[in-house]
Structure 1
């Protein structure tokens, strides 16, 4: 006669015996001693008022009455697993908004692809804006910036220092710059494809060296790269990113372009939110891979450059 409802701890031991065939193997799977397994089975048998497990020299055989309890235990185990999955989905459910330079959009997309394979319930919004969004006012969860923040409620994590270079199509080089080298007096005669914001550091650097011809300006990196591939002029591009565009060839310079540090910035209150923390880590991993590409490209450029020419 049934005296009380079986305890889950006892049911999971019975399920383990059913799956593994012996009390010893069940105990090993659960991290319990064989005597503890036997004690739990005995307690379950007393609660149910029937014999459930018959031990033989070949292992443990479950009585017919035990199979209904095994099915009950299995269903309960599945329900617990589904509940845990649901809890995880709720934890990561929601939107992560990241604000970053246009040239890093491909990196944000790659980070989103990787992160959302594991957490499809998270939606990513990547926004490129000329202004710095107000992270204190929560206009975005994550910002990628070229300087540290001044607010005490924001956290900055260094991503790395990006090196830029000038690149052009083979056609442009053959027509306008066969030496593939820009000396101190060469900038005024060349065409440049640049950002439409004239106050950006790299553009100012070009102007300071005499650049005057800008036949194509755009705040979209993809548009600038397409224009350069079409022969419109020399384009400023991060060294690591340029490795993805074999149609463009590097131009050696008499002086290096400015290096720009970047930081990943978050509000203190959101940095531990699982979906924000997880996506930030995915973006940092993508950026780290970019830094490896940059290091390899710089090493190749140094090996190619004649002694005494530029950096």
Structure 2
């Protein structure tokens, strides 16, 4: 096997894996379909294995291709991190910084902070990744993360922000129509908003808030943003972060019975401590998140 395989071949391989066809991958990479085809042929020849089965609708990855996929994704992540790191060199805060947070924090909490950061430092380009899947900072899937658990890896710089409280809330219009529950038993006559398929976090949280399981939810979604939208629309009673609920004028339900505090941290790989852009973004997120929590 050729030990000097061009990274471009792996990049094309990963694009075809993700898109399912040469034409779609070519559009994604801004190349031609014949070029992508030559890249796949060259990689198969260099590795000595078949990566795709051709059929009229596209390309079907072989077992070998699926085995190689996480390694190709790791290469892509490191290549992107290298490009971001190179763009951030110099004394002035400039370059690309990739930030990840949960769906709700990424879409509802961070945008004002990032807008202020861009006004102060227009040379910084932000890549925002709202995802409930924890992006791996050690594998450089992101540069900075807002985490709801304390990081354990020694290679990460971690700044504690404090606790974000989560409770049950409802829109005033919903309560005006359905009445306010004053006891846990009263929830039985209300429309509850919650998850469809429980995550590990939700299973753990259920131990502290029994009675709120999947079968009790009249409206179910695994998207936290969809749950929040339903809550705001007056569809029922659901969970929300206290600062967001106060911002949106939602009313809290049974605060003595349903309350959960999330330990919040801003984290960054220690290799980025000397990057002006990453340090500037890190400090901005720390200040912004501290202000957000204090408003609760």
1:152 matched to 2:154? The reply is yes
For 1:90 and 1:217, the matched residues in 2 are separated by: 49
Contact 1:193–1:233 (CA under 8 A) maintained in structure 2: yes
Q: Give the deviation of 1:203 after TM superposition.
A: 6.1
For 1:253 and 1:259, the matched residues in 2 are separated by: 12
For 2:212 and 2:123, the matched residues in 1 are separated by: 51
1:1-311 correspondence to structure 2 within 5 Å: 91-105=92-106, 106-176=108-178, 178-181=179-182, 183-196=183-196, 198-199=198-199, 200-201=201-202, 204=206, 208-211=210-213, 212-246=215-249, 248-294=250-296
Relative distance call for 1:179 and 1:190 in structure 2 (3 A) is: closer
Contact 2:168–2:258 (CA under 8 A) maintained in structure 1: no
TM-score norm. by structure 1 comes to 0.59
SS in 2 for 1:216: strand
For 1:146 and 1:120, the matched residues in 2 are separated by: 29
Give structure 2 stretches of 5+ with no counterpart: 1-87
Q: Give the deviation of 1:206 after TM superposition.
A: 8.0
For 2:170 and 2:208, the matched residues in 1 are separated by: 15
208-217 or 144-153: which moved more? 208-217
Relative distance call for 1:190 and 1:151 in structure 2 (3 A) is: same
For 1:161 and 1:219, the matched residues in 2 are separated by: 23
- Number of residue pairs aligned between Structure 1 and Structure 2: 205
SS in 2 for 1:262: strand
SS in 1 for 2:184: coil
Relative distance call for 1:151 and 1:193 in structure 2 (3 A) is: same
For 1:98 and 1:195, the matched residues in 2 are separated by: 26
CA-based RMSD of the aligned residues comes to 2.6
Q: Give the deviation of 1:273 after TM superposition.
A: 1.0
For 1:249 and 1:110, the matched residues in 2 are separated by: 24
User: 1:265-295, CA deviations, whole angstroms, 9 ceiling, x for partnerless residues?
Assistant: 111101331111111111111111112211x
Q: Give the deviation of 1:90 after TM superposition.
A: 7.0
Relative distance call for 1:210 and 1:159 in structure 2 (3 A) is: closer
Contact 1:155–1:267 (CA under 8 A) maintained in structure 2: yes
Q: Give the deviation of 1:210 after TM superposition.
A: 4.7
User: 1:86-110, CA deviations, whole angstroms, 9 ceiling, x for partnerless residues?
Assistant: x998732221111111121233211
Contact 1:145–1:264 (CA under 8 A) maintained in structure 2: yes
TM-score norm. by structure 2 comes to 0.62
For 1:128 and 1:219, the matched residues in 2 are separated by: 14
SS in 2 for 1:186: helix
Relative distance call for 1:108 and 1:195 in structure 2 (3 A) is: farther
Contact 1:161–1:261 (CA under 8 A) maintained in structure 2: yes
For 1:172 and 1:206, the matched residues in 2 are separated by: 26
Contact 2:94–2:276 (CA under 8 A) maintained in structure 1: no
User: 1:217-245, CA deviations, whole angstroms, 9 ceiling, x for partnerless residues?
Assistant: 34544432321233321121111111211
For 1:272 and 1:196, the matched residues in 2 are separated by: 43
